[in-house]
Structure 1
Amino acid sequence: MKITLITVGKIKERYFEDAIKEYSKRLSRYCKLEIIQVADEKTPDGAGEALEAQIREKEGQRILAQVKDGAYVIALAIEGDMLDSVELSGKIARLGVEGKSQIVFVIGGSLGLSPAVMARADYALSFSRMTFPHQLMRVILLEQIYRGFRIAAGEPYHK
């Protein structure tokens, strides 16, 4: 199975980069992992809703340009379904059984995802009703994907 993360913006902190590298290495025994970073748009202070919508749209176009036909797209969004680790593991495993060879997780920028990205998504996943920095969300998502593969393989994991 191929897992792709499409994310907006670059990682600026080395400790996030180190954590991403570690989970990427761990995941290599379970799946083929690809992380695609698309450029973010600078949001000026005091930007109005119209400008924010334009920014989401530009970032959304960049995201959608990276989504391959036939990929199963999971958008990370506050309004999505909240799953526990076992449920996420089961979802990933079921998608594999159903013949989905590529799962794409999408993490938007600081303003969230465009309506076009949400329309393309096959599923919306929420980790919390709280807002997290998108750089941190990459680490959390990779850890949960790794945990999910361990659960599916019947291997020990921290509860």
Structure 2
Amino acid sequence: MRVHICAVGRLRAGPEKILIDDYLTRFDRTGRALGLGPARVVEIEDRRGGGMEAEAQLLRRAVPQGALICVLDERGKVEPSPDFAARLGDWRDAGRGDLALIIGGADGIAPELRAEADHALSFGKMVWPHMLVRVMLAEQLYRAASILAGSPYHRV
């Protein structure tokens, strides 16, 4: 199952990019034998300033045809890492070829796009900067692959 992190905004060189690249490389390496990956980041930018609705249109275009859509949203489901890993495994086992993980911009994700999603995931009740959400998501993808592989990376 290919993973597409579709995110609003451009990530410049710096510590966040280094962390994301590292975790996605680890995910690709660990996930390959499990039928997970590769993972890629697709960045979109609303240059006209159309707000959430314009961002939603650009995000929809970034999602591969037929992909399962999971939005990262504060109203989503808070899941322990093992449950997230099991969910990824279930989606893979159901034959889903592509998973699009959507991270909105500063104002979040348009309600219409949230309603179209197959799943909404939250990293807690706090609101996180979208650049940090990318890092946390990349790490959780690697953690999920490690859990599914039986690796000792995740400890309870």
Structures share a fold, TM > 0.5? yes
Match of 2:45 among 39, 50, 53: 39
1:6 aligns with 2:6: yes
Whether the aligned pair in 1 keeps the contact of 2:24 and 2:139 (CA below 8 Å) is no
Q: Show structure 2 runs of 5+ residues with no match.
A: 32-36
User: 1:47 is matched with which residue?
Assistant: none
1:12 Cα deviation after fit: 3.5
Larger Rg: 1
Match of 1:116 among 95, 112, 133: 112
TM-score by length of 1: 0.88
Match of 1:147 among 143, 151, 154: 143
Task: Give the alignment's Cα RMSD to 1 decimal.
Answer: 1.5
Q: Report the CA distance shift for 1:141/1:157 in structure 2 as closer, same or farther (over 3 A).
A: same
1:76 aligns with 2:82: no
Paired AA for residue 148 in structure 1: A
Q: Report the CA distance shift for 1:56/1:41 in structure 2 as closer, same or farther (over 3 A).
A: farther
Paired AA for residue 87 in structure 1: D
Whether the aligned pair in 2 keeps the contact of 1:41 and 1:55 (CA below 8 Å) is no
Identity of aligned residues (%): 32
Q: Report the CA distance shift for 1:11/1:114 in structure 2 as closer, same or farther (over 3 A).
A: same
Paired AA for residue 82 in structure 1: V
User: 2:90 is matched with which residue?
Assistant: 94
1:101 Cα deviation after fit: 1.4
User: 1:27 is matched with which residue?
Assistant: 27
What SS does the corresponding residue of 1:4 show, helix, strand or coil? strand
Cα shift readout 1:37-96 (whole Å, capped 9, x = no counterpart): 0004587xxxxxxxxxx5000111100111122100000011111100000000000001
1:13 Cα deviation after fit: 5.4
Matched residue pairs, number? 149
Q: Report the CA distance shift for 1:123/1:109 in structure 2 as closer, same or farther (over 3 A).
A: same
